[in-house]
Amino acid sequence: MKFGIIRECKNPPDKRVVLSPQLCQNVLENHPKANIVVEPSPIRVFDDSEYRELGIEVASKMEECDVLLGVKEVPIDALISNKKYFFFSHTIKKQPYNRDLLRAILEKKIELYDHEVITNAKGMRLVAFGRYAGIVGAYNGVRAFGLKYGTFNLPKAEMLKDQRALITELNNIKLPNIKILLTGRGRVGNGAREMLDAMHLRRVNVGDYLNQTFDEPVYCQIDASEYNKRKDGVRGNKADFFANPEEYKSNFFRFAEVTDFYIAGHFYGDGAPYLYTRDDAKHHEFKIKVVADISCDIDGPVATTVQPSTIANPIYGYDPQSETVVDYKNPEAIAVMAVDNLPAELPRDASYGFGEAFSKYVIPAFFNGDKDGILSRAKMTENGGLTERYAYLQDYVDGKG
């Protein structure tokens, strides 16, 4: 089985890679029937020479490979027919901007395996960049706070080598006595929490966060059961919320009344209530002035996120009264950091973490008969058609949904 590490071609450029040089070497040592070829790249976070030094072939031979491994969407004109591809296709939610990509994949009879749907038997994702989105998102949010109020000026995350360097910078600044709210306890939320803990910020419980004042900056991490409540008044829980989201309404505003800086690291599911609306943001008791929206659902549950931002221009201002984008330093504006590809700012760490999971769970499936069903669950297309699991995308492909 010959694996090809493809060059990332999407613009803006992404420096991440599925397998680092060391992980390529580990794969070859653990799977004697595996072979790996790395396509040359001028932008990859690991130089071509780093692969060659470990005996990994670097060559423009992707046509000779059986399985091609990438991170971001592959441009249509770069797709090679009749190959197996792994990358984030951003099609499983019927994203309109990638309809033509999925059509091309079908026309070229490509077997597409989307990283986003590589799961275990219980549906839990096995490979993801979420932790690194949380790490960079929290850093960028703190940076946005300093820039909005002119209190400190952190360097951009993309200018720093790794998570340790981000932490060093965070520990060189001093936050005022603010309250920071973090939603989400998954990979993203806990990645953000790593950074808040690394700053030695005090973590407080919900009751104290809502009702007490502090002489130091503090944070509170909450999940869906704490910012939603059942409409019928019956006591709910997280499991019930995810099973019956339509039975709930937001209970977030009580946090918005006391929060200075909000980090959105939660997962938002269809049918769930918005955390806060544009009308909520207009309310005179809505206190939040800086939002780091790692989840980045546009015009969604975090109403101040009206557009994505970019690594080049990561912060914009949202004026709640006019519902327009303004200068984030405007005193009336809520500063919004909503970069939608945060892990790309920490490419070396993110590639290591992602690749460790990929080599642990996915690579073995090619040599053990896919005994755990990892490949079969992630396979979206085959022989020019959608697989049964992803047949719901047919209307999307046909332009009807």
Task: List, by residue number, the catalytic residues.
Answer: 72, 90
* Residue 349 assigned to a binding site: no
Radius of gyration (C-alpha) of the chain in whole angstroms = 22
* Residue 193 assigned to a binding site: no
Q: Tally the C-alpha atoms within 13 A of residue 286's C-alpha that lie toward its C-beta.
A: 23
Tokens standing for residue 84: 């197996």
Q: Decide: 84 and 68 in contact? Cβ < 8 Å.
A: yes
By CB atoms closer than 10 A (0-12, 13-18, 19+), residue 313 is exposed
What is the CB neighbour count within 10 angstroms for residue 346? 28
Residues with Cβ within 8 Å of 388's Cβ and at least 6 positions away in sequence, in order, are none
Residue 315's nearest CA partner among 288, 347, 293, 295 is: 293
Please report where in the chains the tokens 């995810």 appear, as a residue. Answer: 242
Alpha helices in 230-346 (DSSP H): 238-243, 253-256, 278-282
* Residue 223 assigned to a binding site: yes
Residue 344's nearest CA partner among 132, 118, 105, 31 is: 132
Tokens standing for residue 169: 């910078």
DSSP-derived letter for residue 155 is P
Q: Please enumerate, by residue number, every residue annotated as part of a binding site for NAD(+).
A: 186-187, 223
